[in-house]
Structure 1
């Protein structure tokens, strides 16, 4: 049989159909019951993923906002990336040296990025710790300022502490990375509450740095599925009319965000999707 353009076209169309069928089957399996976890979030954890917006694209993509322990609101500094301990990096399969020197650190740092699992805690003890630390810092700055009321540096520190606590109370994400590993069953045994803890796929990278003249090692991780979560068409009209957070007197840039409530479900492939979506209300200001 002679291969011609008609055969090539048929083969190409068949491949497209097969790939789409596999993708749809994966989505269906991910969303089959029982789900792995369910989180009730707000605009603090779920926001518009603007980099994916185009004029010729009618879809709406949302971004899952998560944080690291002891991080400040909207902290994207270099230091904030070094959040995984050597033990956690070993748990996801990295070879962690027992002794740290130039050679062992070089080998550790050269390891390729790899996939693993991250545990996200929603509105739990880690968030309460962040609130407490922010409140304590405000109290300290208030006491310092009372002793030297005209000190410009203390005035600025007190202002920043007030703004940090206000953000923690009203707008900062309450979703924190709490643990890492490679075995879902083991992680679920440690974190069984499926309305408080979600397990997601992460992409891990090895880090090493000098601290006080000594090598330190650890790692960082990202959550690829957090970058773009599709909002189904049936809620686009709701999204377009979301109310905005009002400005708080005395706090610059405290308002403007679209207010929403959503239920996120994480399926068998640990990928999230939106099952409920509605307009939110502004929380009471402190």
Structure 2
């Protein structure tokens, strides 16, 4: 058969129609029935696209889901990784339950590299909004700020201590009013079991994510742990009907150091395929 321009154009149009049909079926299957969870998030958890406000033409708008992991390896000025990290709860037993080989490898760099080359696995991640994990982060920031302020007063005239006190105070302000309150707190393979453990659908999201193995060494003792590396869905499209409610807030420039971001609240729903969508915008300013 001769491939004429008309034939090629028709085939391309058919492929586009098929792709759109598949996408619509996926949306229907995800949103059919009652939502698996429904949370009210703010600009702390839903980040505006980088450079979006300065763009002259915006054919589409998607908000990034901003989540965190309590990772002690980051130290006092950054102990909570954004969008990934190695939490204490992801220990050897949990990694084994997720299907990883947790047998310690032979000592040496080769054994470590071979172990950590295990393929990442898709798991179910539990994300908690404004719960104990965030409260611990907030309390840690307060204690850190108080400790460095006391050290600065005890070492008056020291630029080093004064700088640490300033950084700790800024960190506290970010934790109180800007940082995401959404933390990854658990992982599993059985959605029903996780939902039974975390029944509050207005506080706990269950989303698909990725975990990969890692070896941690502390005081010459090596143990198997894991790294929460990604969510399957990191951006949430803003429906055209909701854009007029969000755009005025998103276009506002930085206000002050204490209040740097636009303010809004939006309801995120998660469907049967564990894919989130923006359901409504409650307030924006």
Q: For this structure pair, what is the TM-score category when the shorter chain's length is used for normalisation?
A: 0.7 to 0.9
- In structure 2, distance between residues paired with 1:170 and 1:192: 27
TM-superposed deviation, 1:28? 1.0
The question of whether the paired residues in 1 share the 8 Å contact of 2:104 and 2:223 is answered with no
Q: CA RMSD in A?
A: 2.9
Pair 1:97 & 2:103 matched: yes
**Which residue of structure 1 lines up, in the alignment, with residue 233 of structure 2?**
225
What's the TM-score once normalised by structure 1's chain length? 0.82
Pair 1:263 & 2:253 matched: no
For the residue of structure 1 that corresponds to 2:118, the secondary structure is coil
Structure 1 regions of 5+ residues with no counterpart? 248-252, 282-286
**Which residue of structure 1 lines up, in the alignment, with residue 60 of structure 2?**
59
**Which residue of structure 1 lines up, in the alignment, with residue 127 of structure 2?**
120
- In structure 1, distance between residues paired with 2:211 and 2:8: 41
The question of whether the paired residues in 2 share the 8 Å contact of 1:246 and 1:255 is answered with yes
The question of whether the paired residues in 2 share the 8 Å contact of 1:97 and 1:105 is answered with no
Pair 1:27 & 2:27 matched: yes
After TM superposition, the structure 1 stretch with the greater mean CA deviation from structure 2, 50-59 or 231-240, is 50-59
**Which residue of structure 1 lines up, in the alignment, with residue 204 of structure 2?**
197
How many residues are paired up? Answer: 272
The question of whether the paired residues in 1 share the 8 Å contact of 2:124 and 2:187 is answered with yes
**Aligned match for 1:82, one of 76, 80, 86:** 86
Pair 1:272 & 2:273 matched: no
TM-superposed deviation, 1:93? 1.7
Structure 2 regions of 5+ residues with no counterpart? none
Pair 1:172 & 2:173 matched: no
After TM superposition, the structure 1 stretch with the greater mean CA deviation from structure 2, 196-205 or 16-25, is 16-25
Alignment of 1:132-211 (within 5 A): 132-208=139-215, 210-211=217-218
- In structure 1, distance between residues paired with 2:79 and 2:91: 22
- In structure 1, distance between residues paired with 2:21 and 2:105: 50
**Which residue of structure 2 lines up, in the alignment, with residue 250 of structure 1?**
none
- In structure 2, distance between residues paired with 1:272 and 1:260: 18
Cα-to-partner distance string for 1:202-234 (whole Å, 9 max, x where unaligned):
0222223554545443222211312x2100111
